[in-house]
Every structure is written in structure tokens, then in C-alpha cells.
A and B are shown apart, each in its own frame.
Chain A
């Protein structure tokens, strides 16, 4: 990635001297490299599979001429480089190939299923943040310097347990209690707002607990800093000290972790979707892995990867805006 850094020369163009411009250039460069690695990996995936992927997909009983035709159609007989160039070219046109099983264009299947997954992940992220930040800040302020030991213990215990329960187990438990026993929400499927409640909670609660702990720890650290002492020396109202002076400085680590959590929530949908029979990409990827529908797997993995990359980069940008120091590393 070093090659993408603008060389440090005195005669650098004026626009490159701007911190933000250089930040943008660097991040874009990094994003492009990551994208390239991702695309290449998803292209190579099918070639890493031991044996003949088409034979594996169609089963041992499939007639040889069908396998040969399929291989031809997928271009697997061409030289690797030709296939690669083809793959890249098709990608640029939004062509992700065709499913071996359903014969449908992969892009179409993904296009149908992506909204269900994306809405689930982003809602869950929003809920996690909305729970974690106020709780973390409040607990930090309340338990500062060894005050209210019991609150601290209760918080620590609850958050450790909730954070340790994986989302799909939580999903199963939520279904058992709130859908089967109490009948408040549907057991499965995506049908109206109420069907979102349990999957969103299953995805959000664990990360919210982890995030709240981070927010608390970060806040505790920040509250002990010299600049908070300065703010107290200015006799500002407590609320302003906590929200305006402390929180933005606690947000750096929170957001870094929050970004990772969002990325892992996107992936976590795979499991949660399977618990709730959610008609999203998660069910698609599992089914296609089991049925060895490689073009569909390739496409889905690629889309998941791209979403994660976008999320990571959005977090970087948000960090840069909130905490200008984080761009210094790019100077």
C-alpha cells in the first residue's frame, strides 16, 4: 500500500497539501486494494475447491456431457488469466454469473435478498448504539472512582453474560420465550414490523453489551484526563463536561469497535437469518454452500465482503470527522 502514498516532495500540488484531501486519497487507495484482494479471492475460491467444482455441484450421477457443457458455460476450460479477465469484465457490468442450480442470474437473486439482510443489520446496529452509548456513559459517570460498587458489579455481570451469548443462541432463546411461549412476535419469516423485533434484538443485544462496556471503560479513562480537569476548572455544567468534552473523546475506540461490530453483524445475519428463516442473503449463502452452487456462493461472499469494506471505510470517515487526530497518521 506504500506505493499509493503520495511521495513526500516539497513541490507537492497544492490540493495534496490539504489534510482531508490526502486522507481521502489514502483511504480510497486502501479501499481499492482491499476490493481487488476480495474480488481476486472470490474468483480464486472456485479454483481452490479440490476436484471438479462442476462435478461436485451436479453430483456424481450427472451425465458427463452435462458436466462438460456446464464447464464450458462457466468458462472453466479457458486459461486462468482469461477467466480472470472475463470475471473482472463481467463484474464491471454487474454480471455475477448464473446459478448452477436455478439458472437465474446471481445478481438478480442477490438483489432480491439484499434488502432483507441490510435492513436487519443496520436496524440492529442502530439499536445496539442506542442502548450502548447512554448506558455506558451513565454507568461510567455513576461508578466513577469506585462509587456504587453494586451497580458496577451488576453491570459487569449482566454485560459479560449478554456479550458472551452468541446471536443465534439468543435468537433461539428469544423465539422460545417471546414467540412460542408468549406469542407476542412471529416465530419466523419477514412480514411486517413485528417480525423484525426478535431478529433485531438477537443481533443487537450481544454487541450492545460489549459496546456498553467499551463505552464505560473509555469514558472512565477520559474522565481522568487532564483536559476533563480543565473543563471542570472552567466550572462547566456536569452534563456538558460528560457529553461535550468526554463523550467525543471516548467515541474513537467505541466507533472503531462499533465498526467491527457492525461488520460482524452483517456476517451475524447469516446465523440469525437461519434461526428466523429470514429471506435474506444469509439463508442464500448457506443453501448455496450446501448445494455447492459456486457462482451463487462467489457472488454472495463478494457482496458480503463489499458491504464489510464499505462499513469499515464509513467508520474511518466518521472517525476522521469526530476526531481529527485520527487523520494525522495519514499525513
Chain B
């Protein structure tokens, strides 16, 4: 808590807010004591005078000094605002916690009432209550307080609803703790902080409302005066002395801002904690990583759709750039299906995104060589046409990857409109045709629907169909089945296979699932900590994998022969944090074969005569199988 408060004072907003608030509160306490008499002193020689050395802001119609009146009015303005805020908060909390206290049925009625009232602008409610309670300071406090209550009630409901679902509250309820006690002991303490912050912010708003009401002549009545009242008096003489109306107005804004900024700064300090923690996690310099897997001469003589050499992706971290992808080189031949496997954080998705040129600032993509269909993607400035028609990307989550506010057909059709020069009709016909090609039933009707009317599997089909609007040479599928049901998964994979065969497109399939990749792909790239550690034909994956990491991944997949009572095999340890890349082989810490050389030198990715590549000092050495139990023991 102290930490948070000191953080509030470290931001410029916090300093400004707390500073102003202190000033306003000091004025509220001391101004009437110090200058109360001067503010009421009548100077009949100077009626309605302009600013002068004696009267900095001029005088009012009784010759009273406006500067002192503005300062002295601080107490009444602020205290009335705080009173109204307090009233609004108390009534609001009562209304907001009513669902909890009164039970479901009565609570719903209160909630409905609050929802209805919240829809009305505050000022209208204020006027309504002002009629009931009459003109004057007391009426205004009641009116503004009650008018503010629905908003507080709504806030309170939201906060309480979040807490009331928590398990310990449910536990207390089951244990027979009374509703009122649950509210006091379990719920309110947990919503107190955000509530206080919001009350502080809205105190500024209440202050403004109060000034407004007094300005209308419905609030503070003479001989008392607050800022709003002073403004109203000043408005009459705005032709001659604009300052008389503006000065109290400026004070209203200053005081309102003081509450607002303080509240915002406190809120910010609460919310920002997550961000700072994230920043700290990224600390620790990575430095330059050792020379990497540049050799893949075996690819040179093939007809490559995609040729990637020494691909690197970096992001700025708290202490220097972080490199989640560190020198990845591979090629994809025409019509070939290549799988990329690895744990999350291995850089496989980022590799795919950087090939599709979808990594955005502040991420930086660099490569010695990056060509797609013979075009150098890094050198060529306008690759939109090529990438838009020849590269299809299928993203992981079909639920979020379609624009929810556009019809499916239109989302497909715009590819044709922008890259193939089709007119509206032709483009939508093609969209329907492509939906049919990916086995969407009733494609005409479906094309007119919105994404939320599609099931997950259907959307992934449509996503593949979108890639088929052009004539793709390469389909990049980034975990295309991860978000889908198992039964739908195999359908989508089968569709990808069919499409590949029909279109003659190559496939780059990114997956954490070894079995998915081995079903679909000809070749597998195994990634670990931003590098390719092994590159081998799928057929060899289960029997002839050389890298201990590949072998561990394969062993972690249960099959029909796995005894049901045996513990699931896991890979001990954790993936490497890209911000804390070790010297030597990144896998050494988890590797059963690791020796001194592994911890000192990063092995290069070396190709053998058959074109298989592996980056390991102990490639192919036998491993004693270790179960998870033994590993943790």
C-alpha cells in the first residue's frame, strides 16, 4: 500500500493532482479564517470596479473584494461537494449491494431501477430532486447526492458482482454466514480500494455539478456564496469585467482537476503494477548469440517457394533488445508440407509471422535472405500484391480472426477486389465459390452471415477459403487446430491436405503437437529457444531423431501402447526465457546428455549427407529414459 502511494507521487499526474488537492484543502480550511473579513468588507467607493492594485479581481455590486471572495468560497464549495459525494456514495453503496442483501428477486428490481436511472443524465436527476427538495444549499446537497447515487450503485454492483462470485464468499455463504456479515467482512473490504478511487474522481465531478446548480441560482443562496454563485453574479457584468465570472470558474476547474487527477493517479498506480512487473521480467541482457545455423546447402538445388536464411526477430526489452528468434534458416519446396514444432515460446509462431511480414513495431525482423516465390521480401518495397494472392495465412483462433462486424462473404471478397481487380459481383461470386471449395454447405447463404453465426470449425474452413481467393503457393497455418474440438481438428487437417493437393501449394504448419505435424507433413523443423535444433523427415521422427529435445518431445506423446497407469512423460525443467538466454546450448539445463561443452558452446545446425540437420554436441547418443517422477524426485 505504501509502495503504491509513493508510486502515485512519482508520476507527473500524481504530483500535480496531490499538490493541487493539498492546496485546495488548505484554502478550504484557512481562507475563511484569514480573509473572511476582507471578503465581506463593503467598499462603497468601489462598486463593480475592475481589477486594480487594491482589488486584484475587482469588486462586486457592494464593493466587496472578489479575489478574497473567490478564495473564501473554497470552503463552502468544497465542503458542500464532499457532503453531496458522501451522500451519493452511501446511498449508492446501499443500492449497489442490495442484490446481495435482499436476495435475488428484490435485488433484481433494485438493479433494474438503477439501470433505468443511470440512463438519465445526472443534471436531469439533479433538477428533478431540486424541485422536490427546493432551492438552496441543503436542497442542492440532497439533490446532487441522490442524483449521483445511481452511478455509484452501478459501480458498486459491478465491483461486488466480481467479488461475490469468488470462492471464499461462496464458502462463507454455504457456511451459513449472514448476508450482512458477508457484505461487511468479505465483500466490502475487497471493493474498498476501487470504490475510494472512483469516489475521489467523482468528487471532482460533483464539485462541478454543484457549481452548475449554484450558477443556475438553484444552489447556494445569498448572503452565502460559493464559486457557482460568484460566477452567476459575475456573468451579469461580463461585458465590463469578464474576470469576475472567469476567476471563480477557473477555481472550479482547478479544484475539480485536483480531485480528478489525484483519483486517476491512484487508479493508474494500481493498474500500472502489472506493467512494471512485465518490464522487470524482460530485464537481463541477451547479448549477441553465437553464429548460427547458416548451412542448408541441401536446399539450394530444390525449387524453393520460400527461402529463409538467418532470420532474426528482436523486441526492445527493459535492458536491451530481446531475441525470441535467433538465426533460423530453412527452405520450403513447391508443394512440400513442412511442420514446425516446439514448446510455446520457442519462436515458431513468430517465425511464421515474420515470414508473412506481419511482425509489427516495435518488433524488428532481419534476415540474411528472405525470398518468397523468388521475390526478396526484405528488399522489394511493394510486396502486397504477391503476398495478398500467393501467400495464405491461417491463424490459430478462428473465433477471433474474423472481423465480427463484417459478413463472411465480404471478408473473402475483398481479397479479390483489391488484388485481382474483380468487381463487386465477381468478387462475391468467387467468395461463394471458395466457400464451396472448402466444403461449406449452402455457401450462398453462409456468405451473407456474420462470423458469430459460424461454428469454430466452419470459420477455420472459411479462413482457409479466404486464403484460396488468390492462388496460394504457400499456406502458413499457425496452430490451425489448437482452438478446435478434437473431432473438428481432423476435418480441418484433412481439408488443408486436400487444398494443398488441389492447389499445389506448399504448407508451413506450425504446431506444438507432434502428432498433428507427423500426420500432415513431409518434413519437421524442431525449434527450441528461437533456433532450429533439428530438421528431419517426418518418417524418421519416431525412430531416428538425433536431438535429445526432439526425442523428448516424441516420447511425451502418449500412444496406444502407453500404459494407462504410467505417469505421463514430460520434459523436466522449463523453456528458456528469451530475455535470459544462456551461453552454450539453450537446452543444456534440461538435457540428460549435457556435458561441459554444452554449457559453454552453442552447437551449430549441421547437415549430414542426406540433408537432415541437427544442432547438438551429443546427437544420437543413447538416453536413459527418465520418468517425470524420477525427474522431480
Contact = CB atoms under 8 A, between A and B. Distances in A.
Contact of A166 (B120, B212, B403): B212
A15 interface: no
5 contacts: A164-B260, A175-B242, A249-B403, A294-B131, A301-B127
B246 A176 contact: yes
A199 interface: no
A15 to B, nearest CB: 19
A264 B239 contact: no
B400 interface: yes
A191 interface: no
Contacts of B358: 229, 232-233
Interface string A1-33: 110000000000000000000000000000001
B418 interface: yes
B246 to A, nearest CB: 6
Closest 8 pairs (CB-CB, A-B): A235-B388, A176-B242, A267-B121, A235-B384, A267-B123, A264-B121, A226-B400, A169-B249
Contacts of B127: 267, 270, 285, 289, 301, 304
A146 B360 CA distance: 12
B124 interface: yes
B404 interface: yes
A240 B385 CA distance: 15
Nearest to B363: A145
Interface string B228-272: 000100010011001001100100110011001000000000000
A235 B358 CA distance: 10
Interface in A33-79: 33-34, 37, 41, 45, 48-50
Interface residues of B, number: 66
Nearest to A223: B360
Interface stretch (A81-89, A210-218, A318-326): A318-326
A220 interface: no
B124 A308 contact: yes
B397 interface: yes
Contacts of A146: 361-362
Contact of B253 (A33, A165, A240, A275): A165
A164 B404 contact: no
Contact of A226 (B112, B252, B397): B397
Q: Is the interface of B mostly helix, strand, loop or mixed?
A: helix
A181 B466 CA distance: 62
Interface in B123-154: 123-124, 127-128, 130-132, 134-135
A4 to B, nearest CB: 11
Interface in B350-369: 356, 358, 360-362
B464 interface: no
Given A166-B208, A240-B418, 8 more contacts: A166-B253, A176-B242, A181-B242, A226-B397, A230-B393, A235-B387, A268-B121, A301-B128
A322 B404 CA distance: 11
B494 interface: no
A266 interface: yes
A173 interface: yes
Contact of A229 (B119, B121, B401, B404): B401
Contact of B238 (A45, A172, A228, A324): A172
A146 to B, nearest CB: 7
Contact of B215 (A144, A175, A228, A271): A271
Nearest to B130: A289
B361 A147 contact: yes
Given A145-B360, A289-B218, A312 B119 contact: yes
Contacts of B260: 164
B395 interface: yes
Nearest to B392: A233
